[in-house]
Amino acid sequence: MPLPKRLFTYFSLTELKLYFLLKDSPLLPFKVVSFTMEQRLYRFLLITIAFIYAFSSTNSQTYIGVNYGEVADNLPPPVQTARLLLNTTVSKVRLYGADPAFIQALAGTNISLVLGVANGEIPALAADPSAAAAWVSSKILPFIPASSISAISVGNEVLTMSDQSLSSQLLSAMQNLRSALSSSAAASGIKVSTVNSMAVLAQSDPPSAGAFHPELAATLQPLLKFLHDGSHPFMINPYPYFAYQSDPRPETLAFCLFQPGPGRHDPGTGITYTNMFDAQVDAVRAALRAAGFPDLEVVVAETGWPDRGDASEAGATIENAEAYNGNLVAHLRNSPRPVETYIFALYDEDLKPGPTSERSFGLFRTDLTPAYDAGLMKPLGGAAEWPSPVAAGLVSTPEAMEAAAPAVACKPGRGGAACG
């Protein structure tokens, strides 16, 4: 099966894959037994390009996740959502709770999950280690290892809430959950963290001057030590969309959307930033460094852009949403040091209160069609095979799922609304 006689630069990736899959196939009536020097050169180049493409594509996808919010009354069944995800390059999903049906739907898919502890659950988990043990026993143990659970996020934007009593209980809840996880060999590798808003920073511009609010030090320092000692990530919610809302100039929009422009120079490091996302993440890294924890991993728990909004909400358009999320995905794939990032959100949430934008962050409509092209769909024929219950190693029972059902209906979405 000799190569077509045309220039190498015009081969598509599909052709390359087919060539190497079929060239030695027993289904063919002949085999390639020898190559000319030109064909050998082509073969070497094609193998090299295919290897580089496969390695870089696979490696980059591990950093891209989505948030799955459930403040809606029209969401598709979890199994349908799982099938949708298998047709995308998304490798991680963050939940705001621990929905047993959704956790089980992703069994055997190799899509990892971050489960959420609602703000209203924190006091009980902080007060009683046995409550944390019960949470782990009901929400996690029935589903692993069939479902891949990588982390628990305890609360959402707790440190910047007005209720300081809740923030004072946060670390105890995290410690109790960590102890409960450690008591199970199957769950001992699951990380524990909490999600923070950018409001934890007193300064973020320039990024090298990033610093936490001094009044948070008493709560934040021991929390950072806990994260550091256990190799848990620091989770943050950077939203260039809100930065543009506070400075709605054309040059700011271009900077937020990863579009060409002069960039912004940081005199402290000499770096000229070409986009707001990197600037915000590096401001968090600088704050961690200033607090004495330069090696803490930063995970972007939420970022996104609404595709519609009220008349007063500048920039909330489908064109800007496609530009931001599509360019973000491309940026993560091409970055020399990509940060694990969860895009908000998989679907619109029609029951969320507030302005129109709050209900308009979905990458997909609830009929499973893309809201726009964010560059997340796999090429035709590239979807993963749906796992069978046997292949997935499912051990969960209806009784286990019932025991794991959420005790509260409150499911916080973006913005960290308190649940009680």
pLDDT in tens, 198-228: 999 999 999 999 999 999 999 999 999 999 9
Average pLDDT taken over every residue of the chain: 85
Given this model, what pLDDT does residue 382 score? 63
Given this model, what pLDDT does residue 354 score? 98
Conformational region of residue 397, where left means phi above 0, alpha means psi within -120 to 50, and beta covers everything else: beta
| pLDDT (mean) for 100-129 | 98
> Which residues are known to be catalytic?
157, 302
Q: What is the pTM of this model?
A: 0.81
Least confident of 5-19, 270-284, 322-336, 337-351: 5-19
Statement: residue 176 has pLDDT above 70: yes
Statement: residue 393 has pLDDT above 50: no
Answer for the pair 99, 70: CB distance below 8 angstroms, yes or no.
yes
DSSP secondary structure code for residue 151 in this structure: E
Tell me the C-alpha distance between 221 and 243, whole Å: 27
Statement: residue 370 has pLDDT above 50: yes
Band the pLDDT of 419: cuts 50, 70, 90: very low
Given this model, what pLDDT does residue 381 score? 63
DSSP secondary structure code for residue 370 in this structure: B
Burial of 342 per CB tally in 10 Å (0-12, 13-18, 19+):
buried
Q: Count the neighbouring beta carbons within 10 Å of the beta carbon of residue 357.
A: 23
Given this model, what pLDDT does residue 27 score? 39
Band the pLDDT of 399: cuts 50, 70, 90: very low
What are the pLDDT digits (tens) for 117-175?
A: 999 999 999 999 999 999 999 999 999 999 999 999 999 999 999 888 999 999 999 99
Which residue type, as a one-letter code, is found at position 78? P
Answer for the pair 158, 166: CB distance below 8 angstroms, yes or no.
yes
Residue with tokens 């972007």: 300
Domain architecture of the chain: domains with CATH? 8-54 (no CATH), 64-404 (3.20.20.80)
Statement: residue 42 has pLDDT above 80: no
* Distance separating the N- and C-terminal Cα atoms of the chain: 66
| pLDDT (mean) for 384-406 | 46
**pLDDT greater at residue 357 or residue 39:** 357
Residue 64: phi and psi, rounded to 5, are -105, 120
Cα 35 → chain centroid? 46
Least confident of 251-255, 349-353, 383-387: 383-387
